[in-house]
A and B are shown apart, each in its own frame.
Chain A
Amino acid sequence: MTDAPIDLAKTGSEKPIVGRSLWKDALLRLRRNKAAVASACVLILVALAGIFGPMISPHPYDRVYPQYVRAPASLEAYPREEAIIPAFERAMARTRLDIGEIDVEGSVVRVSISSEDPLDPRIVRYIDRSDLFSNARIEDLAADERTGVLAADVHRVRFPFGTDANGRDLLARIFIGIRVSLAIGVLASFMALVLGVTYGATAGYLGGRVDNVMMRIVDILYSLPFIFFVILLVVFFGRSFVLIFIAIGLTEWLDMARIVRGQTLTIKRQEYVEAAQALGVSSWGILRRHVIPNTLGPVIVFVTLLVPKAILLESLLSFLGLGVQEPLTSLGMLISDGASNMRGASWLLIYPAVTLTAILFALNFLGDGLRDALDPKDR
């Protein structure tokens, strides 16, 4: 190739026009689908909550507040004003001072005090002795030391979603539950994706006896009862986070393998595959460059529907008590807890259930939108 340098110089000046791939086309179509875009936004928000929520939440998810067991959901801070004032009065009674009106401002309680003798600063100890109050101090002491204002800090905490039967903040637990559920859903789906696509594409492309043997193995695995399989795994290896996504991934890749095999069977008859064979491209090259990229459309749709399925399966396992280990939790476990406390503490069921439903809705809508966007018939 003697004329290569000339050509290189020429092509260097010609700026190649970047084409619009089918993926970009699909993305454009997806962007016009309002439900899918909204779902994607919801998913991003939920995912951010799962990732950063536990970090910024004021309560660790496993912190127990024994005094606030099953506190209902409320925006008001605990302890409530009605509870603070009597407690403060009780503590003040020991000081034997004349007190004015008790005033609660945020996390500070104030009361004006007066006495016939000069005020002894040690009286603050009476207040500090109470569990509720800390850092009691006398402010605005008059010059004659007979009147002043006694202030004390109250440790007040908010539980916007209430607390569970052990006195743990439900919001923090939902955050960690989202993290665990999404992680299991995504990891299990990813595992199913990698296993299923490789296995299905190989079986479909090689065909013949190899295909027969490979797909019979899939059939045998299909016939294993899932719950039984998981119980066996749990019995052997103990309950753990990793085990659950492996268990779900190991059962879900079978569907994926079948879908990809079917796709591969049609793609392998396409002329571009034959063209690649005529060029002498190896089987692996054809699989990698031609078959797998062209199966990805339906595969992506299937994955978006697989993620909610994996989340639901994990919920089922958690509900049955085979899921992640306390104090770690997942949305399924939270719902299970909520269901057993439904009568007295409905918020324990409502908030996790709403979160899970929102995630599943969003994933299904997104999957639907993706299917429409990737469907080449709609072009």
Chain B
Amino acid sequence: MARDPILKVRGLDVSFRTNDGPVHAVKGIDLDVFAGEAVAIVGESGSGKSQTTMALMGLLASNGEARGSALYRDQELLGLSERQLNKVRGKKITMIFQEPMTSLDPLYKIGRQLCEPLVHHGALSWRKSRARAIELLELVGIPDPKRRIDAYPHELSGGQRQRVMIAMALANDPDILIADEPTTALDVTIQQQILELLASLQKRLGMAIVFITHDLNIVRRFADRVYVMRLGEVVEHGEAGTLFADPRHDYTKMLLAAEPTGTKLPPAPDAPVLLEGRDVEVVFGTGGGGWFSGAPHQLRAVDGISIALRRGQTIGIVGESGSGKSTLGRALLRLLPGEGTIRFEGQDISKADRRHMLPFRRELQLVFQDPFGSLSPRMTVGQVITEGLLVHEPSLSTKARDARASEALKEVGLDPAMRNRYPHEFSGGQRQRIAIARAIILKPKIVVLDEPTSALDRSVQKQIVELLRDLQKEHDLSYLFISHDLSVVRAMADYVVVMKQGRIVEEGATEAIFEAPREAYTRALMAAAVNDTRFR
């Protein structure tokens, strides 16, 4: 390539001072971005991909330090003063973040937030910048921008907020747009739209996009060139096409092969029904109903769903956020009050109170999505996983509990010597294993898995999926697998239920649903999740 890169990074080094001595997050990497191209930086969490761009933007945490050189059109970015850096940052190099819920200030109308960079960098008046803001909103596909410009962030959906963030980033015609996992927090169908928008904007405006992601599927469809990062180093880089066709580094090969594979056979047809829900309904009152607030608002999160889980079966519950799939899972475990009949092994538990529910609790377990939030930070791992034993087998001695903890940890593939450590000392995948150990230590019959793999890296996802399948075989478990990730559902479940707005849209054997989806909604979900065509 004869052209000169507009961003040229050489020997970038980022380190953080911590309690345990310095942590080297980025170890001397080189990176080039040419005008108008899409560069993807791929890596799992902890690979330093985000810190690389944070260092370029001067956004490192206060205990971080960047060394090396980063030239933007022959101007050194590292070591610039805040004031000099602001001439480039937010104008020529802009950034969008993962979390659209928190990147907008809830106190200001989006118009005002859009105008801010225009007035600041573009030296427009507030009046002129408003016209430009409407133009920008139109550009990013916000419907009715003239009215929407006076909306507050909470009045917009997640996808719309991400569009506003993109509009803000585009405000001053940047040369480089850095997108840090811009779609991870969004539903698959919205993800699809945002990526399409980014691709078309790139083509129309001719800017370069640096795309940071862990999702190779997005990279395959989006990027011209790819940098694969691992533990702070670039292990491989090259043209996207060649890299995917012929990966040279083992790590890249591992990432490419990390899609969960295999399928699950349905249980024997005469397997008994363990858990049965009939016309389950969950209604949330969302305010109102008081003296002054008029009629109560009600939200039907789960609206008359019937489901039957057999021994050894895995039912995958699929749907976008807000479809009521997690609520259904909790209602079936009687963790949320609901209407309808719920039977466990033929006994009606839908009216059981706390005390009568207790013997069933050990049979019905739950694993959560967020391995960071589901483990109490002040308890050791041993205490966390043996808590259920305190309730259900109070006669066990401390020693016996400890032995059970070791056993459970071994079963989920962790070193039992770790049981006196605290959750924050473990990685996301290890924590999810701990959460699984907590569920299976009681030898339950049913485990509700609420998005157990969504917060994890692809390669870790695969391991967790395999672990869950092994445990199922060993203990004859039944799973209710809630997920929005269709590839994981395909590998885990033998029966799929598609939910939308609290109702079942479609259900059937996994293969049938995946091969021949009947409903438009199911087809849209599939199209968004498994698609290899390139954007643009």
Binding site for B on A (CB under 8 A): 1, 3-4, 7-8, 10-11, 14-23, 25, 28-29, 270-272, 274-282, 285, 289-290, 293-294, 296
Cross-chain contact of A275 among B364, B366, B400, B420 (Cβ < 8 A)? B366
**Smallest CB-CB separation from A10: which chain B residue?**
B406
- Whether A25 lies near B19 (C-beta < 8 A) is yes
Taking CB atoms, residues of chain A closer than 8 Å to B390 are 281, 285
Taking CB atoms, residues of chain A closer than 8 Å to B262 are none
Taking CB atoms, residues of chain A closer than 8 Å to B425 are 19-20
Number of B positions contacting A (CB below 8 A): 48
Which of B165-173, B243-251, B371-379, B484-492 lies at the binding interface?
Answer: B371-379
Tell me the minimal C-beta distance from B338 to chain A in angstroms. 15
- Whether A289 lies near B387 (C-beta < 8 A) is yes
The answer to whether the Cβ of B236 comes within 8 Å of any Cβ in the partner chain is no
Which 7 A-B pairs rank lowest in CB-CB distance, beginning with the nearest? Answer: A19-B421, A280-B361, A271-B374, A279-B388, A293-B378, A271-B373, A272-B376
Taking CB atoms, residues of chain B closer than 8 Å to A28 are 19
- Whether A11 lies near B406 (C-beta < 8 A) is yes
- Whether A19 lies near B392 (C-beta < 8 A) is no
Tell me the minimal C-beta distance from B61 to chain A in angstroms. 9
Cross-chain contact of A11 among B387, B388, B402, B435 (Cβ < 8 A)? B402
- Whether B368 lies near A274 (C-beta < 8 A) is yes
The answer to whether the Cβ of B407 comes within 8 Å of any Cβ in the partner chain is yes
Measured in the bound complex, the distance between the Cα atoms of B374 and A293 in whole Å is 15
Measured in the bound complex, the distance between the Cα atoms of B390 and A25 in whole Å is 28
- Whether B376 lies near A22 (C-beta < 8 A) is no
- Whether B391 lies near A281 (C-beta < 8 A) is yes
The answer to whether the Cβ of B417 comes within 8 Å of any Cβ in the partner chain is yes
- Whether B422 lies near A20 (C-beta < 8 A) is yes
Taking CB atoms, residues of chain B closer than 8 Å to A14 are 406, 416-417
- Whether A279 lies near B391 (C-beta < 8 A) is yes
Measured in the bound complex, the distance between the Cα atoms of B421 and A294 in whole Å is 17
Measured in the bound complex, the distance between the Cα atoms of B379 and A293 in whole Å is 9
Tell me the minimal C-beta distance from B258 to chain A in angstroms. 26
Cross-chain contact of A17 among B369, B403, B418 (Cβ < 8 A)? B418
Measured in the bound complex, the distance between the Cα atoms of B408 and A315 in whole Å is 57
Measured in the bound complex, the distance between the Cα atoms of B383 and A290 in whole Å is 11
Taking CB atoms, residues of chain B closer than 8 Å to A22 are 377-378, 422, 424
**Smallest CB-CB separation from B419: which chain A residue?**
A16
Tell me the minimal C-beta distance from A250 to chain B in angstroms. 29
Known: A7-B403, A272-B373, A293-B378. A278 touches B420 (CB 8 A): no
Tell me the minimal C-beta distance from B164 to chain A in angstroms. 26
**Smallest CB-CB separation from B63: which chain A residue?**
A378
- Whether B376 lies near A290 (C-beta < 8 A) is yes
**In chain B between 480 and 500, which residues have their CB closer than 8 angstroms to a CB of chain A?**
none
Measured in the bound complex, the distance between the Cα atoms of B387 and A289 in whole Å is 9
**Smallest CB-CB separation from A274: which chain B residue?**
B335
Q: List 5 A-B contacts (CB under 8 A).
A: A7-B407, A17-B418, A274-B335, A280-B358, A294-B377
The answer to whether the Cβ of B133 comes within 8 Å of any Cβ in the partner chain is no
Taking CB atoms, residues of chain A closer than 8 Å to B404 are 1, 4
Cross-chain contact of B420 among A16, A277, A279, A285 (Cβ < 8 A)? A16
- Whether B392 lies near A280 (C-beta < 8 A) is yes
Taking CB atoms, residues of chain A closer than 8 Å to B407 are 3, 7
Measured in the bound complex, the distance between the Cα atoms of B378 and A23 in whole Å is 8
The answer to whether the Cβ of B362 comes within 8 Å of any Cβ in the partner chain is yes
Given A278-B366, A279-B361, A293-B379, 11 more A-B residue pairs with CB atoms under 8 Å apart are: A8-B399, A11-B402, A11-B403, A16-B382, A16-B419, A17-B418, A275-B368, A277-B335, A279-B391, A280-B362, A281-B390
